[in-house]
Amino acid sequence: MEQNSFDAIVVGSGMSGGWAAKELTEKGLKTLVLERGRMVRHPDYPTATKDPWDLPYGNRITQETRQRKPVQTRTGYPTPANQHWFVDDLDNPYVEAQPFDWLRGYHVGGRSLMWARQSYRLSPMDFQANAKEGVGVPWPVTYDEMAPWYDKAETFAGISGSVEGLPQLPDGKFLPPFDLNCVEVDFKKRIDEKLGRKLIIGRVANLTAPLTHNESPQRGTCQSRNMCIRGCPFGGYFSSVSATLPSAERTGNMTLMANQIVYEIIYDNDKGKATGVRVLDAETGKQTDYFAKVVFLCASALGSAYIMLNSTSSRFPNGFGNDSGELGCNIMDHNKPGGSNASVEGYLDVAYTGRRPNGFYIPRYRNVGKDKRDYLRGFGYQGRAARSGFGRFNDSALIGDDLKKAFQEPGPWNLGMTAFGEILPYHENHAKLDPGRKDKHGLPLLVVNAIVRDNERKMEADMRNDAAEMLEAAGYKNVKVNSDNYNVGNSIHEMGTARMGNDPKNSVLNKYNQVHACKNVFVTDGSFMPSSGCQNPSLTYMAFTARAADHAVSELKKGNL
């Protein structure tokens, strides 16, 4: 028992787990980090420096991979360059009561290796929305309370972006912004003039300049290769592998173990505390208990909910900390029903060099200020303008010399964008365990049941039409509206399964991400979110995790945990 005892246990090593590990170890806690997947160490990313001709099949996914990874591959995210970061679905099954895209990376670093790096703050408007509109539960935290933690997360991670002064998308501590390209600058000007809508360069966790601190000597600046998803040997973008875990490692206080599947929290009824976690070794099946004074669940919204639902006791017959009945419920993501694209005339004598790992962002403008719609909340767009490539010749009759001459010149410009819309929290959108169905480890399967509902459906019309409206207002041609068949989960922003709130009767966590009913367990991944905003959420998870770790250590010191 002695050797299995630590000050803190962090479950998961991704976006949130890495931050928990860094903060807890830096504050002197002997911390065990348990990752269910394999080990990954910076800068060992197997495909990171492969040239395009070194990737098999023109970087197209094989039937063999599709057969092993049917859910991952149906989304189009994996390619041979990155497929090793996406789980084998046959080995890691779940049940889709409704179609649900559960994109997972079971390895050290989790999805912080594959994320799109878009980093936005929630705004005061987002923190106030639930309370103001009577939706779900009020956020127990204000923007002002979170602002210093956002500062901290941005400064450490290195977020590039432009200062804009938009109330719905607060500015932060930014490294220099990436360039918009010539056509994007044109588009920005036109939609601002015609429609009063703002377009900004994406705020992205890539180092456009050296970090402003000396805590990450292993990281270099972004080289504009745009191969981030493979893992970056330069450390040019933030991941837990490149940034937070090395910091934790340097303290000498971290024990990081791979292939350790945490499936249960151990609860001591007499003490009214969690004493540790139960673990299965993914390779040997060996069961081990680990003990600590404090436990951080950072296993992803569905992963952490799974562990809590699977941790029943006489005190918690319906799942750990589930007095409210909200555990596993209120699953949110960002609705992505489509967007629009168009061809842009002119600008033929200009192009760009380098590969920008980023695009433009159009912050939410619906239900902002005086704008009022027949639905709640809003959406933002992510997009880019580019010169079209050789694909434009797929359906052409040009052959031979004519074709060769044509493909040695860049194609016309096109501009496309995709909408990401807020999904409201619905109790009915839930995940639960099916004890009758087991995986290869004998663990029950998670059943996920989440759909978009009336508010999201109403918003979809604007999400598609506004995109086309902007492209038309800009005078672009061949404007096409795309209707994508969106499954919840496809934006890979799943959240809300253990929401925070002031009232233990309708929320699982308090304002410091502590389980209301068991104060030495913290949940700091997307589980805690009472609403989703329409912004990419990772930066918010970082900020809340850092704050929760600070609170945990302070409470430990006071003897309150």
| Residue 345 binds to other proteins (criterion: CB under 8 A) | no
- Cβ proximity of 159 and 173 under 8 Å: yes
Helix (H) or strand (E) holding 459: helix 454-473
**Smallest distance, Å, CB 185 to other proteins?**
7
Which one of residues 41, 60, 286, 441 is an interface residue with other proteins (CB under 8 A)?
A: 60
Cα 511 to its chain centre, rounded Å, is 21
H-helix segments, 61-142 = 63-68, 70-74, 124-133
Binding of other proteins by 224 (CB under 8 A): yes
Interactions with other proteins, residue window 33-52 (CB under 8 A): 49, 51-52
If one asks whether residue 401 binds other proteins (CB under 8 A), the answer comes out as: yes
Binding test (CB under 8 A) with other proteins, winner from 43, 289, 393, 439: 393
Among residues 165, 391, 442, 559, the one that binds other proteins under rule CB under 8 A: 391
Closest separation in Å from C-beta 222 to other proteins: 8
- Residue 284 or 353: the one with the smaller Cβ distance to other proteins is 353
Interatomic CA distance for residues 524 and 7, integer angstroms: 18
Residue 267 contacts by C-beta under 8 Å, 6 or more apart in sequence?
Answer: 273, 274, 275, 311, 313, 315, 316, 320, 518
Residue 226 lies near other proteins (rule: CB under 8 A) = yes
User: Count residues contacting other proteins (CB under 8 A)?
Assistant: 53
Distance CA 340, CA 468 (A): 6
- Residue 514: closest CA among 460, 487, 554: 554
Least distance CB 62 / other proteins (angstroms): 4
Among 75, 155, 223, 318, binds other proteins (CB under 8 A): 223
The secondary structure of residue 509, as a DSSP letter, is B
**76 binds other proteins, rule: CB under 8 A:** no
Cα angle 351-352-356, degrees, rounded to a multiple of 5: 145
> Which residue among 1, 2, 3, 64 contacts other proteins (CB under 8 A)?
64
The rounded distance, in Å, linking the Cα atoms of 166 and 184 is 19
Q: Long-range contacts: 165-170, Cβ < 8 Å, 24+?
A: 166/198, 166/200, 166/363, 167/123, 167/124, 167/125, 167/368, 168/123, 168/125, 168/363, 168/364, 168/365, 168/368, 169/120, 169/121, 169/123, 169/200, 169/363, 169/364, 169/535, 170/121, 170/123, 170/124, 170/143
Q: Output 404 or 505, the one with its CB closest to other proteins.
A: 404
Can residue 348 be called a binding residue for other proteins (CB under 8 A)? yes
- Matching residue, tokens 């060996």: 286
Which C-beta is closer to other proteins: that of 224 or that of 275? 224
- The CB-of-190 to other proteins minimum distance in angstroms stands at 16
Which residues inside 262-291 make contact with other proteins, applying CB under 8 A?
none
Q: Is 209 in the site for other proteins (CB under 8 A)?
A: no
> Are 425 and 531 within 8 A, CB to CB?
yes
Q: How far is the CB of 143 from other proteins (least distance, A)?
A: 32
> Which residue shows structure tokens 């505390």?
273
Q: Which residues pair with 360 in a beta bridge?
A: 201, 383
Please, what is the minimum distance in Å from the beta carbon of residue 235 to other proteins? Answer: 14
Of 192, 350, 438, 505, the one binding other proteins (CB under 8 A) is: 350
What is the DSSP code (8-state) at residue 180?
P
Q: Which stretch binds other proteins (CB under 8 A): 35-43, 112-120, 405-413, 499-507?
A: 405-413
Residues between 172 and 191 that touch other proteins (CB under 8 A)? 178-182, 184-185
The smaller minimum CB distance to other proteins, of residues 317 and 400, is found at: 400
Residues 58, 76, 134, 559: which binds other proteins (CB under 8 A)?
58
2 binds other proteins (CB under 8 A): no
Is the dihedral angle over the CA atoms 151, 213, 536, 357 positive or is it negative?
Answer: positive
Amino acid at 380: G
Q: Rule CB under 8 A: is residue 408 a binding residue for other proteins?
A: yes
- Structure tokens, 226: 């745009």
Binding span for other proteins by CB under 8 A among 55-63, 109-117, 482-490, 503-511: 55-63
Residues that bind other proteins (CB under 8 A): 49, 51-64, 178-182, 184-185, 223-226, 348-356, 386, 389-391, 393-397, 399-401, 403-404, 407-410
